Each structure stands twice: as C-alpha cells, then as structure tokens.
Amino acid sequence: MLQVGTKAPAFTLPDAQGNLISSETFAGKRWVLYFYPKDSTPGCTKQACAFAAAHGEYEALGVPVVGVSKDSQKSHQRFAEKNGLPFLLLSDPELTAIQAYDVWKEKKLYGKTSMGVVRTTYVIGPDGVIEWAGEKVKPDQNAQQILDFLTGK
C-alpha cells in the first residue's frame, strides 16, 4: 500500500462506457480512489452501495469517488446499473493502476493462496499527494470513515 505523503501515480483507464478517464482529470481536486476485488460480490456490493448512499454528501464536499477493479467494462456497467451507482467505476484488467497503487497482493482464502486486489482506499489531495490511505478497509464502514476524515470528525 502506498503511504500518506506519497505522490499518487498517474493512470488512464476506461470507465463502464469505454470513455478513457485519466487521474489528471481530478488535478486540483480532492478525490477518493478505492480499489476493490470484484463486481457483484457481497463485500464489494456493500462497499459500493455505501458510497452510493453517501454520494450526496461527497458531492456537497466537491469530492468525486472513483472505484477500480480488474473487472471488464461490461461487468462494471451491469454492477453500476443493478446497484444504482452514481460514481465512476474504472476497468483495470491489465492491473496498471492496481499495481501502481500497490494493492495487488497474495491473498489466502479457505487455505488457498492466490493473487488478488486487497480492498484499499486512498484520498488524494488537490496537489496529487495521498492524504489518507486505508488497507483492508471494512466494506460497510469505508464510505463513512472517509467522510469523517474529509469533514474532520
């Protein structure tokens, strides 16, 4: 995981509609970048829906939320439509941003070891420097945790 105070790596990835979105789009803004393992799984759905439920509060603060996984654009499209997600989901099947942000790790599940995305969230400041970093965040608490950080609670 990248540490607070680190310059956030630049990337360009497609969104669910195939539009290329660059991290430079958010230059001059504070924004949330969260990495999650897989669309439509219980934890990832909980996390995405929590960010969706808090979307108005993020908008009021002027803080965009962006989710990234290695799922396809089509998968993101279905996931966003099914759950009414009002924020960007970016597709990273080549693991470009996933590896740059150091969230591709060895994971153990039911005694089996494999590589995968560790649920990680970053708040990136207007200067492109990481202001907050959380690894293995709790899906149902992450959106509120970030709001509390952004509002100084």
Residue of 8, 13, 44, 130 marked catalytic:
44
Beta bridge partners of 35: 68, 120
Q: Which helix (H) or strand (E) holds 55?
A: helix 55-61
On whether the CB atoms of residues 133 and 4 are closer than 8 A, the answer is: yes
In this predicted structure, the answer to whether residue 44 has a pLDDT above a threshold of 80 is yes
Rg (CA), the chain: 14
**pLDDT 10s digits, 59-88:** 999 999 999 999 999 999 999 999 999 999
Treating both helix axes as pointing N-terminal to C-terminal, what angle do 142-151 and 42-53 enclose, rounded to 10 degrees? 40
49 is annotated as an active-site residue: no
| pTM of the predicted model as reported, rounded to 2 decimal places | 0.95
CA distance 101 to 121: 10
Interval 48-58 mean pLDDT? 97
Q: Which CATH architecture has domain 12-151?
A: 3-Layer(aba) Sandwich (3.40)
